[in-house]
Amino acid sequence: MKIAFATLTFVALSVFGAASQNRLPPYQSMDYGPVLFWTLQVAPGNIAQKGIAVRLDDGPGGVSKGRAWMVYDHDTLRVAAATTGDFVDWKGIAFDGSHGTHTSLSGERHFVNPVGPGWASPDGKWDDARVVGKDKKHYGPLPREWAHYEGTYLHSNKVVIAASIGGVRVLESPGMATAGDNSVFTRTLNVGAAKKPLLLRVAPDSVNVAIAGDGSLRKDGGFWIAELPGGAKTRLFISRSALAKMVVGSLDLEPLTRGGPARWTQEVTTTSVAGKADGAFITDTFPLPVENPCQSWMRPGGFDFTPDGNAAVVATWNGDVWRVDGLMAPAPATLRWRRIASGLFQPLGVKFRGDELFITCRDQLVRLRDLNGDGETDFIENFNNDHQVTEHFHEFAMGLQTDAAGNFYYAKSGRHALDSVVPHHGTLLRVSADGARTDILATGFRAANGVCLNDDGTFFVTDQEGFWTPKNRINRVKTGGFYGNMYGYSSVTNTADSAMEQPTVWITNAKDRSPAELLWVPKNAWGSLGGALLNLSYGMGRAFVVPHEEVGGQWQGAVCELPMPGFATGIMRGRFGKDGQLYMCGMFGWAGNAAAPGGFHRIRRNERPAHVPIGIHVAKGALSVTFSEALAAESVKADAFAIKVWSLKRSANYGSKHYDEHSLEITGASLSSDGRTVTLAIPALAPTQCYELKVNLAAPDGSKIERSLHGTIHQLGEK
C-alpha cells in the first residue's frame, strides 16, 4: 500500500501541474472533484449565492483544473452562467484568506442569466418570491411548492442536478458539445409525470438555442423559454455561434442516479502518536493525511464517530469529507484515511443520526448517500437549504447537534462590522427532523462557533469579541433570547445591556481570544471530572473547564485551562468516544494564536490528579471553588490567592478595554472537610462582569497547583 500511494502521489503531482514545484497555494493545488458548491459572482452585480460549479470537459484534477463550466444556483434553480478558460479568482477567506472579498468567475462568459427564478411558478409567473433582505435583494430558496433543489448525483465525472418543480421531479445534467471551433453548452433534462408543461428559462435571447427531443422553444421577455411536457427527455444546445445539427445521443439520465464507480479507492495511512503520560491528561495526535493524491487541504471543521464508534468522519473547510479508521487503537497505530466526498461549501459540522451522515455547509444541511455500497458518496442530498446566504465572508454556519426527536441545531454568524441583511444573520437555528422547516431559536450573535445542546433543552453557544460584543462570551441560551449583537438580525432596538441576555462568562482575550464549542464530560468518564462542562478554544488551541452555577435564574461561572500544553491549531469540535476519552479536531482559517493548518487529537484522562475547578459559588463576602481532587490543607491560606475585577463597555466599537480594574482584599481562606472546596472571605465581593482569581496551592504530595480562573458574577447567592 505504501508503494502504491507513493506512485499515486507522484502521478498526482505530475498531472496537476507539479504543485509543489510550481509552489501553487493549497487551494489551487487541491482536486475538488467534479463539482464545487460555493458563492460565486458570475458577472458584476450578479451573484450565485448558492452556486454549484460543474466542470464540463474531461480530464484529471477536478473542477478547478477544467476549461469549461456551467454554474447553477440552487436557491433559484437557474443556470447562472457558462464559462470557458480560467476558473475563479481564488478570492475569499477559505481560499486566499482575504476578508471582505468573495469569489468571482475568471473565465470568458458565454452566457449569463440574471438573478431570479430559473423555472416559472406553477401559475406561469417569473416574479421572485424569496425572502427580501434589508438591502431589498432576494435571498434564500424559492418556495418549496414552486421549486425545490433535491440534491446532486455524481457518476464518474458526470453531474446530475435533481429538483422538484411544482411537485414534478426534474433531472438535469450539463455538458459540452463541439461544432467546429464553437463552444456549445448543453442542458439535458428529464421531466417526471406532469399534468401541464413546465416553463424553463434557458438563456438570454442574445445567444443561439436549439432543442432536441421533447418540448418546444420560444423567445419571451428577452429569454429563450423551453416548454417541457410531462415525461419529456430533452437536450438544449446553447452557443454564441450559429448552431449546426448536433449529435444527440442518449437523453436518459436515470442510469446516472444509481451510483457510479469509486473515484478515490486509495487509502492514505498515517500513524497515531502517543502523548507523554507525565500529567493528569495525555494527548495523542492523529496526523492528518497532508500528503494525499487529491492534494486536499486538511483543515478539519467538524467530525463525528460512525454508528459503531470505531471510525470517524471528518469534514475539512474546503469541502472534503474523509473517513478515518483505527482511532480507537492505542497509539502508535495505523490510521487509514479515505476521501468519501468533496466539493462541499465550507462544512463546519458533522453528525450521524442513526446510520445517516449529515454535514452542515454554508449553503445547506446535506445528507451524504452512498447508493451502491462502495464507501463513496454518490448523492449529495439537500436535506435542508433554507439557509439565507449572502456573499459576505463572515457568515459561517457552525457546528451540528441533534436532539432525541431527531431535530438538528447549528449557529449562523452575522456579518463582520456590518448590519445584518437576512433574518438568519447572527442566530441559533433548528432544522426539523424531516428537514422541511427551519426555526430561529435565538438572536443577537456575532460569530457563534458551534452549539452545545443541554439535557434541559437549553444550549451553550459561544461568541467572539467585536462590534456590540465587548469581549468573548459563553452564553447559556434559551429560546427567544437576544444575546447582544445589534448587528444581528433582531427586533431588539434597545442598546442597553439590560435589553440582552447576560452571558454565563465574559472572557478576556488574553485568556481565550476565540472560544469555540462546549461539550459535557459524560458522567462515567474522566474520573473526578465526570459531568463537568468543557469549552474548546479556536483562538488558543486549548481546552477549558467551565465551573458554573445558577443564581436567581441567571447562569454564571468561570473558565480555567486544563493543565496541559496547548495545541498547534485552533480546537473547535469535540466528541467523547466509546472509550470514554475526548476526541477533538480544529484548524486555522481566520485570526487566532494557534496557526497550524489543522489537527486531530485525543485527550486521555491519566490516573494522576488534575486539581482543576469543577464547581463555583459566590455569596455575600465569600467565593467558594470546588476542585476535582483534594488539596493540601496547609497550603490554603489567604495569601495563596489573588483576585482582581474589572468592567467592560458594550458599544458599536470593536471590543472593549478593561475599566476600573482593581484588586480585592482576601481576608481569609478555609478548606472543606473533604479537602476539595476552598472558601475565600472577600468582604468587597460584588457582582462584576469580569474577575481573575489566581491560585497558588499544593497537592497532598507537595506538588504545586497553579491555576487561573476568569469569571463573571451576576448575582450573589446564599452562603
CA 532 – CA 528 distance, rounded (Å): 9
Span 499-517, mean pLDDT?
98
CA 4 – CA 295 distance, rounded (Å): 16
Span 660-683, mean pLDDT?
98
Strands (E), 205-274: 208-213, 216-220, 223-228, 233-239, 268-271
Q: Output the CA angle 63-68-73, nearest 5 degrees.
A: 70
Instruction: Collect all residues with Cβ–Cβ distance below 8 Å to 168 and sequence separation of at least 6.
Output: 191, 192, 193, 194, 198, 230
Cell, residue 595: 496557526
Kindly write down the DSSP assignment for every residue of 657-699, as one continuous string. --EEEEEE---EEEE-TTS-EEEEE-TT---EEEEEEEEEEE-
Q: Are 468 and 414 in contact (CB under 8 A)?
A: no
Q: Are 535 and 541 in contact (CB under 8 A)?
A: no
CA 357 – CA 304 distance, rounded (Å): 9
3-state secondary structure of 184: strand
Direct distance between the N- and C-terminal alpha carbons of the chain, in angstroms, rounded to an integer: 65
Q: Tell me how far CA of residue 290 lies from CA of 24, 268, 599, in angstroms.
A: 15, 9, 10
Instruction: Give the side-chain half-sphere CA count within 13 A for 39.
Output: 27
Label each residue of 27-93 as H, E or C.
HHHCCCCCEEEEEEEEECCEEEEEEEEEECCCCCCCHHHCCEEEEEECCCCEEEEEEECCCECCCCC
Tell me whether strands 668-671 and 408-412 are parallel, antiparallel or unpaired.
unpaired
Cell, residue 253: 439520465
Q: Are 254 and 158 in contact (CB under 8 A)?
A: no
Cell, residue 314: 471528518
Tell me whether strands 223-228 and 622-627 are parallel, antiparallel or unpaired.
unpaired
Over pLDDT 70: what percentage of the chain?
Answer: 97
pLDDT beyond 90 at 182: no
Cβ atoms within 10 Å, residue 274: 15
CA 625 – CA 187 distance, rounded (Å): 67
Q: Tell me how far CA of residue 92 lies from CA of 88, 318, 332, 456, 589, in angstroms.
A: 11, 11, 38, 39, 11
Beta pairing partners, 615: 626
Cis peptide before 26 (omega within 30 of 0): no
Strands (E), 508-581: 515-520, 533-537, 543-545, 548-551, 554-561, 573-576
CA 477 – CA 428 distance, rounded (Å): 9
pTM greater than 0.85: yes
Per-residue pLDDT reduced to its tens digit, 301-347:
999 999 999 999 999 999 999 999 999 999 999 999 999 999 999 99
Instruction: Collect all residues with Cβ–Cβ distance below 8 Å to 618 and sequence separation of at least 6.
Output: 549, 551, 556, 624, 685, 713, 716, 717
CA 16 – CA 262 distance, rounded (Å): 20
Beta pairing partners, 220: 223
Cell, residue 280: 493528569
pLDDT recorded at residue 16 = 31
CA 234 – CA 252 distance, rounded (Å): 9
Per-residue pLDDT reduced to its tens digit, 437-478:
999 999 999 999 999 999 999 999 999 999 999 999 999 999
Beta pairing partners, 705: 697
Q: 316-338: string of b/e by CB count within 10 Å (b at 16+)? A: bbbbbbbbbbbbbeebebebbbb
Q: Are 104 and 40 in contact (CB under 8 A)?
A: yes
Q: Are 482 and 466 in contact (CB under 8 A)?
A: no
Instruction: Collect all residues with Cβ–Cβ distance below 8 Å to 475 and sequence separation of at least 6.
Output: 460, 461, 462, 463, 483, 501, 503, 504
Per-residue pLDDT reduced to its tens digit, 575-612:
999 999 999 999 999 999 999 999 999 999 999 999 99
CA 291 – CA 9 distance, rounded (Å): 8
Q: Which amino acid is at 717?
A: G
Q: Are 80 and 48 in contact (CB under 8 A)?
A: yes
Per-residue pLDDT reduced to its tens digit, 358-405:
999 999 999 999 999 999 999 999 999 999 999 999 999 999 999 999
Span 660-676, mean pLDDT?
98
pLDDT recorded at residue 244 = 79
**Owner of C-alpha cell 478558460:** 85
Give the pLDDT band of residue 23 (cuts 50, 70, 90): confident
pLDDT recorded at residue 178 = 76
pLDDT beyond 90 at 1: no
Assign 3-state DSSP to the chain and report helix, strand, coil percentages, each to 5.
5, 45, 50
Q: Output the CA angle 406-412-417, nearest 5 degrees.
A: 170
Per-residue pLDDT reduced to its tens digit, 4-18:
322 232 222 333 333
On average, the pLDDT of the chain sits at: 95
pLDDT recorded at residue 4 = 30
Indicate the length of the chain as a whole number. Answer: 719
Cell, residue 14: 505530475
101 closest CA partner among 89, 112, 91? 91
Q: Are 55 and 33 in contact (CB under 8 A)?
A: no
pLDDT beyond 50 at 156: yes
Instruction: Collect all residues with Cβ–Cβ distance below 8 Å to 483 and sequence separation of at least 6.
Output: 442, 443, 444, 445, 461, 463, 473, 475, 477, 500, 501, 503
Beta pairing partners, 693: 643, 709
Instruction: Give the side-chain half-sphere CA count within 13 A for 129.
Output: 15
pLDDT beyond 70 at 20: no
Per-residue pLDDT reduced to its tens digit, 211-267:
999 999 999 999 999 999 999 999 999 999 998 777 789 999 999 999 999 999 999
What is the enclosing helix (H) or strand (E) of 13?
Answer: helix 2-15
pLDDT recorded at residue 719 = 80
Phi, psi at residue 14, to the nearest 5°?
Answer: -70, -55
pLDDT beyond 80 at 687: yes
Cβ atoms within 10 Å, residue 10: 11
Q: Are 677 and 491 in contact (CB under 8 A)?
A: no
- Report the C-alpha dihedral over residues 68, 73, 76, 81, rounded to 10 degrees: -30
Across the chain, which distance is largest between two alpha carbons, in Å?
95
3-state secondary structure of 6: helix
